[in-house]
Structure 1
Amino acid sequence: MSIDLSVLVKAYDVRGVVPDQLSPVVAEALGAAFARVVVLPDAEAGAGTGAGAARPGMVIGRDMRDSGPGLVDAFARGVTAAGVDVTLIGLCSTDGLYFASGSLGVPGAMFTASHNPARYNGIKLCRSGARPVGQDTGLAQVRELAQDYLDNALPEPVEAAGQVSERDVLAEYAGFLRSLVDLSGVRPLKVVVDAGNGMGGLTVPAVLGEAAGLAGLPLEVVPLFFELDGTFPNHEANPLEPANLVDLQAAVVANEADLGLAFDGDADRCFVVDERGGAVSPSAVTALVGLAEVSKELAAGRAPTVIHNLITSRAVPDLLSAAGAQTVRTRVGHSFIKAQMAQHGAVFGGEHSAHYYFRDFWFADTGMLAALHVLAALGTQEHSMSQLAEMFEPYVGSGEINSTVPDAAAATQRVLDAYRAAYPEVVVDTLDGVTVSHWESHPQWWFNLRASNTEPLLRLNVEAADEDIMEKVRDDVLALIRQD
């Protein structure tokens, strides 16, 4: 009996346990379906063939997980049997795959399970130019066709099967990022980088070190866990969990470093630690990087737009609007923010999960480019990282708090009824879950409740103008959510 792909194909990507859910057989079916749903139609429409290519083509990359090579080979078999050429770029970060898709003008597939444990693997798919493939932009059709192939049979290979070639794009990727942010004039900085045994161990030396053709930078990089190891022997490669930042925080203080950077498993997210070992809010990083991009746009005589998701701090739209940008608030999730980036021609976008998106990077997310902006901002003035971050963190946030509930809709309604009764002046919107805002009144606070798509969870984010108010709202909402 074949696997039910509905448990494997998520809203934005493919993610599951190897080999129980994601096996070479499943990967081959997904490759065959991706070729027919995305690659071939894109080529017929005039996109996705690559410069000078005789046949439609795509790129495939992978992270350091042991299951990667076998899954890549199987996926490539499914693709080439449909008459599509495959370029294997080998070990890379997810933003390295996006670079290849954007610069070569072809669709792509990145084999990674990001921060998930070693027994998992997955696939992030994109159209040419790194355009997202999500549930509403082709992924549902890929799942349905692949399911048909698993339930029945793979189609017969076409007579003119695709060819497989290899290409190393790491140096091109590093050079491109360095061309977007000039660090040559920053003051000397010592930075500790925790790669978590993930792909940052490959990309950080290439971008921040003296790679071929790139000049050295005034940076002293102290490496933590740069060895590529998909078993994650030191800690999970998920810096969003505070426990996984402990090693970096201690190393920053012990080395008297100026800051620390942490990357997740596929190195598309970047987290920042200040010189005291304190975690810098991704919202503060969004504001900091956003201001740099807004300033560049204004200097070029263009009207800047910045996208942010609805759980970023209110400081983000406050600071960026004051700097002359139009800000657009969007749902949580990279497919939503990428769509808004393209629709508005936005120069930058940020999420509170530490995904950062750049127009100059095909509207895709890249943690490494965000890291370069942070280093530039710190290194072009004399304030410490903690002082710099404080300028962008005027409010107090709770972080995301998950509650297991039997009925998420009923719990949400209970909270909404209580707050509407107690505070008739609140503003409620349902852009993503429910956001209840008292920001235009005093005391200032807001919270958002979002239900998980896959688990019986409610996710709560609270922000207020001061800590006492944040704690009160947080505790009151949690009591309502968790009441029997």
Structure 2
Amino acid sequence: MQGFDWKKLQNGSDIRGVALAGIADEAVNLTPEITQQLGQAFVHWLAAKLNKPTADLTVSVGRDSRLSGPVLMQAVMRGMAIAGSHVYDFGMASTPAMFMSTVTPGFDCDGAIMLTASHLPFNRNGLKFFTAQGGLEKQDISDILTLAAKNEFTAAIAQGSVEPHDFISVYAAQLVTNIRQTVNHPKHFEQPLKGLKIILDAGNGAGGFYASQVLEPLGANTTGSQFLDPDGTFPNHIPNPEDKAAMASICQAVVANQADFGIIFDTDVDRGAAVDASGKELNRNRLIALIAAVVLQAHPGSTIVTDSITSEGLTQFIETDLKGIHHRFKRGYKNVINEAIRLNQTGQASWLAIETSGHGAMKENYFLDDGAYLVSQLLAELAKARLAGRSLSDLIANLQEPVESEEFRFKIAAEDFRAYGQQVIEQLQAFAAKQADWQVVPHNYEGIRISCQSPTEAGWFLLRLSLHDPVLPLNVESNVAGGVTQIANRLLAFFQTCDKLDLRSLQQVLS
């Protein structure tokens, strides 16, 4: 395929592309032919890494509910089989389950591929790759794309076999066992969730299995659960715990059904969020605080690694109330996970790495960003709290939350958007240094974070470069009503000197 730009398929440590036609200005670039070459490239890359012939490799493949999934899955399996590799066809699966197939006895796959584009629109799809060491890194993806572009593959003498298997049931059973052992109540060991009504919203993604194969075997009443059937058109709402409409839907369902707890997953179940019995969202800072409370009960003094946009109240809660350490790092779930792994290697115990997006990874679970595992830990704590006559939300009763919080995204028109964005950040630092009541926050790992100490602002802001897009996101929080507007007004005066920024999102709030 001469002229094809393989690099455009890279999205950090994943591959993503347009798989279906029909959306204006979005040409298809993830075709069955391309996907077959990616399958061939992966097993050749893997064979070189493991020093094994491709014919000796066993690789698993799964997909989410996307409309393009079945065709692309056949293509990627065909590519690997042509190379002689043995392939497990897991059908509908979750991203975390695909990793688990590399470490589950009886499977012990050399590698795994998940076809998903997470919460992106229905016309997109992509590939996530795993080995027993975890998800691949950015450089690994670049290397696989280079192999695919060269397309110098030769067919094996004997084509590899493709074997269907229901692995999601194996994975679900692992979660069930984990919850039972975590609660470990002698009278309620088999069904620790009996007497609890728990509603699941799978958003028509791949997570519907969790109701019938995890919640119900543990005794939960799942009446009122919604959008469990896979549907790649996503007819009800975007399967994304960060989406306001999605969260409003699960909150409403919990209240309407008088449920004890609500769960929502993204499309491929590597992210999750929850809702308490009153219909209050347990996501972003609240979700981090809740799982941090669970982790620090088991591992006192542990470091909790988060992304850069978490609130000051969360830091105070983790360090003052929970007696842990809050290490605020960079955006990007791989960045957060890799930082927690690095800290452990240096001797600083870190048992949790979590983003405000809902990506959460725990040390005892291979530092795998697994929405189902994270939620399962909350369910175990919910069961223990109920048996002790307490509420799960009691764990975060002391969490101080901002009165106001906003994110503005400024598109960058400069050709070298990274250089221009960095220039804006440096100029803002100089501007902030001249403000008597603004102070640069130390130990900040991306962009610039400023503490705004005036009583009318009482908050902070963070300006950083987007991981992949020509955008400068600005996060602003305040502990007083009207504080965000006060901070934003002062910032607007600065940003209006930056002629290559689209400031409409900020101007609309201030108009």
SS in 2 for 1:122: strand
Gaps of 5+ in 1: 211-215
Look up the match of 2:138.
135
The answer on whether the counterparts of 1:447 and 1:461 sit within 8 Å (CA) in structure 2 is yes
SS in 1 for 2:463: strand
SS in 1 for 2:358: coil
Matched, 1:148 2:150: yes
Look up the match of 2:66.
65
CA–CA distance in structure 2, aligned partners of residues 160 and 81 of structure 1: 8
CA–CA distance in structure 2, aligned partners of residues 460 and 87 of structure 1: 44
SS in 2 for 1:102: coil
Q: 106, 111, 118: which one pairs with 1:114? A: 118
- With structure 1 as the length reference, what TM-score do the two structures score? 0.85
Query: Within 5 A, what are the aligned runs for 1:292-303?
Result: 292-298=294-300
**Deviation for aligned residue 1:197:** 0.6
The answer on whether the counterparts of 1:304 and 1:325 sit within 8 Å (CA) in structure 2 is yes
Look up the match of 1:213.
none
**Deviation for aligned residue 1:144:** 1.7
CA–CA distance in structure 1, aligned partners of residues 175 and 404 of structure 2: 32
- With structure 2 as the length reference, what TM-score do the two structures score? 0.81
Give per-residue Cα distances to partners, 1:4-30, cap 9 Å, x unaligned: 122221112111111511011111111
- Specify whether residues 68 and 329 from structure 1 end up closer, same or farther in structure 2 by C-alpha distance, changes over 3 A only: same
Look up the match of 2:79.
78
CA–CA distance in structure 2, aligned partners of residues 260 and 331 of structure 1: 29
**Deviation for aligned residue 1:207:** 1.4
The answer on whether the counterparts of 2:200 and 2:264 sit within 8 Å (CA) in structure 1 is yes
User: Structure 1: which amino acid aligns with 2:172?
Assistant: A
Q: 225, 237, 240: which one pairs with 2:239? A: 237
Q: 205, 211, 220: which one pairs with 2:212? A: 205
User: Structure 1: which amino acid aligns with 2:228?
Assistant: F
CA–CA distance in structure 2, aligned partners of residues 313 and 188 of structure 1: 35
User: Structure 2: which amino acid aligns with 1:360?
Assistant: E
CA–CA distance in structure 2, aligned partners of residues 75 and 199 of structure 1: 19
The answer on whether the counterparts of 1:89 and 1:168 sit within 8 Å (CA) in structure 2 is yes
Look up the match of 1:250.
252
CA–CA distance in structure 1, aligned partners of residues 395 and 488 of structure 2: 27
**Deviation for aligned residue 1:236:** 1.6
Give per-residue Cα distances to partners, 1:131-179, cap 9 Å, x unaligned: 121313x111112221222xxxx41113354332222222221222233
Q: 177, 180, 190: which one pairs with 1:179? A: 177
CA–CA distance in structure 1, aligned partners of residues 293 and 237 of structure 2: 33
Give per-residue Cα distances to partners, 1:183-209, cap 9 Å, x unaligned: 544673323221111112123321112
Give per-residue Cα distances to partners, 1:290-343, cap 9 Å, x unaligned: 221222234xxxx63432222223344433334343443321112212222333
CA–CA distance in structure 2, aligned partners of residues 159 and 416 of structure 1: 62
Give per-residue Cα distances to partners, 1:335-356, cap 9 Å, x unaligned: 2122223333432211100111
SS in 2 for 1:144: helix
Q: 458, 464, 470: which one pairs with 1:456? A: 470
**Deviation for aligned residue 1:405:** 3.9
Query: Within 5 A, what are the aligned runs for 1:66-465?
Result: 66-103=67-104, 104=108, 106-129=110-133, 131-136=134-139, 138-149=140-151, 154-182=152-180, 184-185=191-192, 188-210=195-217, 216-298=218-300, 304-322=302-320, 323-345=322-344, 346-379=350-383, 380-381=385-386, 382=389, 389-396=396-403, 398-407=405-414, 408-423=421-436, 425-427=439-441, 431-437=445-451, 445-465=459-479
**Sequence identity, in percent?**
27
**Deviation for aligned residue 1:426:** 2.5
- Specify whether residues 102 and 468 from structure 1 end up closer, same or farther in structure 2 by C-alpha distance, changes over 3 A only: farther
SS in 1 for 2:446: coil
CA–CA distance in structure 1, aligned partners of residues 80 and 480 of structure 2: 54
User: Structure 2: which amino acid aligns with 1:109?
Assistant: I
Give per-residue Cα distances to partners, 1:369-425, cap 9 Å, x unaligned: 222233333441556566655433444462533233435445434433321210464
CA–CA distance in structure 2, aligned partners of residues 21 and 84 of structure 1: 26
- Specify whether residues 467 and 97 from structure 1 end up closer, same or farther in structure 2 by C-alpha distance, changes over 3 A only: farther
CA–CA distance in structure 2, aligned partners of residues 416 and 84 of structure 1: 54
- Specify whether residues 454 and 427 from structure 1 end up closer, same or farther in structure 2 by C-alpha distance, changes over 3 A only: closer
- Specify whether residues 189 and 388 from structure 1 end up closer, same or farther in structure 2 by C-alpha distance, changes over 3 A only: farther
- Specify whether residues 366 and 478 from structure 1 end up closer, same or farther in structure 2 by C-alpha distance, changes over 3 A only: farther
**Bigger shift: residues 236-245 or 357-366:** 236-245
CA–CA distance in structure 1, aligned partners of residues 256 and 338 of structure 2: 42
User: Structure 2: which amino acid aligns with 1:445?
Assistant: G
User: Structure 2: which amino acid aligns with 1:125?
Assistant: F
Look up the match of 1:23.
31
**Deviation for aligned residue 1:224:** 0.9
CA–CA distance in structure 2, aligned partners of residues 119 and 204 of structure 1: 27
User: Structure 2: which amino acid aligns with 1:204?
Assistant: A
1 or 2 for the larger relative contact order (CA 8 Å, sep ≥6)? 1
CA–CA distance in structure 2, aligned partners of residues 114 and 128 of structure 1: 22
SS in 2 for 1:288: helix
**Bigger shift: residues 284-293 or 252-261:** 252-261
**Deviation for aligned residue 1:479:** 5.8
SS in 2 for 1:294: helix
- Specify whether residues 164 and 275 from structure 1 end up closer, same or farther in structure 2 by C-alpha distance, changes over 3 A only: same
- Specify whether residues 326 and 41 from structure 1 end up closer, same or farther in structure 2 by C-alpha distance, changes over 3 A only: farther
The answer on whether the counterparts of 2:240 and 2:267 sit within 8 Å (CA) in structure 1 is yes
